[in-house]
Chains A and B, each alone.
Chain A
Amino acid sequence: MENHSIIQIQNLTKIFPMGKSDFTALNNVTLAFQQGEFAGLIGPSGSGKTTLLNIIGSLDTPTKGTVEILGHSIGNLSAKQAANLRKEKLGFIFQSYNLLAVHTVYENVEFPLLLLKLNATLRKKMILEALEWVGLTDKVDSKPPQLSGGECQRVAIARAMVKKPVMVLADEPTANLDAANSHHILQTMLKLNQELKTTFLFATHDEKVINYLKRRIYLIDGKIDKDILVDH
């Protein structure tokens, strides 16, 4: 089973200095994820789920232990190698969407493709396809301030998915959405997971999200409390 893992985490510990003392955000975590999983890190605030997501996303590094993503050891990557990993293989969805406010929907979704230096024709095809997935083809020229929260999050999903990454990391993606929008977003992501075999990893404590997850990893005080596979 381990040979097919796209993420392998061994004895991961993350400690943040807090003034004169230290705060242990993750304590000896060992985990593995397979291609195509729809999994979530679940726990209250301060349980370490966002920290774990950030380390998996190569935005942060472990204090101890090893984290291998698609064969790359996160602790040993240079800034450029880490940026390349994020650029080519990973997609991010954030709680507050993090869209570029002065850019149009089209330009927001185009950004990851610009970084990959794809030509304009291919970019256009991929952007329209991604907007089709999230049902926003009629909003290409709108700017984020003109969109609702649900629409903004759908743009963020399109931006994360447009380059067809191996894995999407979603940090509290429904925290700012109402129930209807949350279900819409989650159904979209589930559909993309099934159709494109993209791995989705959530950090959440929202029951609506938890209900959709096929694997639920509960974290308490930086440690794995439960790791449950759910048969929907």
Chain B
Amino acid sequence: MKIAIKLAYRNLLGAGLRTWLNVVVLSFTFVVIIWMKGIMVGWDYQAKTDTSNWQIGGGQYWHQQYDPFDPFTFSESHAQIPETFNENIANGDLEPSLIVAGNIYPQGRMQSIAIIGINPKQNVLLLPTQKLDTFINAIPAIIGLSTAKNLKLKKGDFTTIRWRDSKGMFDASEICIVDLFSCNVPAVEAGKIYIPLAVLQKMTGMENEATILTFRKNKMDQQKVDDWVLKTNEDLTKSIDEMIKTKTFGQSVFYGILLLLSMLAIYDTQVLSIFRRQKEIGTYIALGYTRTQVIGLFTVEGAMYSILAALVSAVYGIPFLMWQAKVGWTLPVDASEFGMAMAQTLYPVYSALLVISTVLFVVLITTVVSYWPSRKIGKMNPTEALRGKIQ
């Protein structure tokens, strides 16, 4: 093997431009695959972090009737906040939210909306709820930028909301948009308005009641409580993992094509090499190699393209990947319209495992692709190979 590596290295360097063309194409594949995988890991990390910071904190207790995808459950999904949580709430480690289905009437149009009551002094989530802690002659409310765009509302606008109280009776009041916030998590802002919890509890006659209890990360014993379902951070971010997994599969088709093109180049080179170097193959055999050893030599030569490519990638790839990790990749279109937790600028995250596994994967594929045409050597007649007579 040592001799094969030595010979393969000499043969590759001796082949000059042909070698470097393959190496550059393959190195491009390395860098693109690592970058794209890094983007996905970075997106996964960013989506989970943003979701935790803006929506779910360290985890949540949901009222057992609550289904975020079915607004008709909202009227039933509220209950008294268990006394066992009083201390956590007093400490600010647990924040109750009440969710009520309602309508909003911007410029006289009616649109369905979820009205969320939240403590203005909370700091478990990044929502700018302190803006709700104000005195005006309407209910103070905050909404996300995309919701504001859809409803054609801006900061300082007054509009009307309507809701049902605990007894099913309709009531309405005027709200004032005191602030707009920007957030990468669509579920936090899409079709939602946030008003002070105490106000909503009073409006609906649901004193001291909540739909969701959000706790601060690493600050709660995750105990089981009757009528409330514990949702850990992992449970609530599982859908992000699944979404990223789906996107990763789609993306792997792209780099599969890229890898295929590189492998075609290697395969072509190997086929051409075996055809053009018949005399050399015959000479190796005449000088004491077995055909299997010659196959090994050609396979090592092919595999060595990927090793050289990894080295070449390191030269320009490391600075590029580091620069990308710093400045990120800004999406050319508005990410808020994608309907998923996605920042406008994605920052790739690379791990040693990601880099090593990518390199090993490409080396393995290259080795297999190099071996495949080399098997032809096993059927070569050395006396004909020596004269370069095989067609």
Contacts and interface: CB of A to CB of B under 8 A. Distances in A.
A96 interface: yes
Contact of B286 (A57, A79, A101): A57
B6 A83 contact: no
A84 B10 contact: no
Contacts of B7: 111, 114
B283 A100 contact: yes
Contacts of B13: 102
B373 interface: no
A59 interface: yes
A100 B383 contact: no
B3 A114 contact: yes
B14 A92 contact: no
Contacts of B293: 83
A112 B287 contact: yes
B386 interface: yes
A101 B57 CA distance: 67
A54 interface: yes
B345 interface: no
A80 interface: yes
A59 B286 contact: yes
Interface in B1-39: 3, 6-7, 10-11, 13-15
Given A60-B383, A98-B282, A98-B283, A84 B14 contact: no
Contact of B382 (A59, A84, A100, A112): A59
Contacts of A96: 279
Nearest to B385: A59
Contacts of B15: 102
Interface string B375-387: 0000001110010
B154 to A, nearest CB: 72
B376 to A, nearest CB: 16
A68 interface: no
User: Number of contact residues on A: which range applies?
Assistant: 20 to 34
A86 B286 contact: yes
A197 interface: no
Contacts of B282: 98
26 contacts: A50-B383, A60-B382, A60-B383, A79-B291, A83-B288, A84-B288, A87-B289, A92-B286, A94-B286, A94-B386, A98-B279, A98-B282, A98-B286, A100-B11, A100-B280, A100-B283, A101-B14, A102-B10, A102-B15, A103-B11, A107-B10, A111-B7, A112-B288, A115-B288, A115-B289, A117-B3
Interface of B: 3, 6-7, 10-11, 13-15, 279-280, 282-283, 285-293, 381-383, 386
Given A54-B383, A59-B285, A60-B381, 16 more contacts: A59-B383, A79-B291, A79-B292, A83-B285, A83-B289, A86-B285, A87-B289, A92-B286, A94-B286, A100-B283, A102-B11, A102-B15, A111-B7, A111-B287, A115-B287, A159-B287
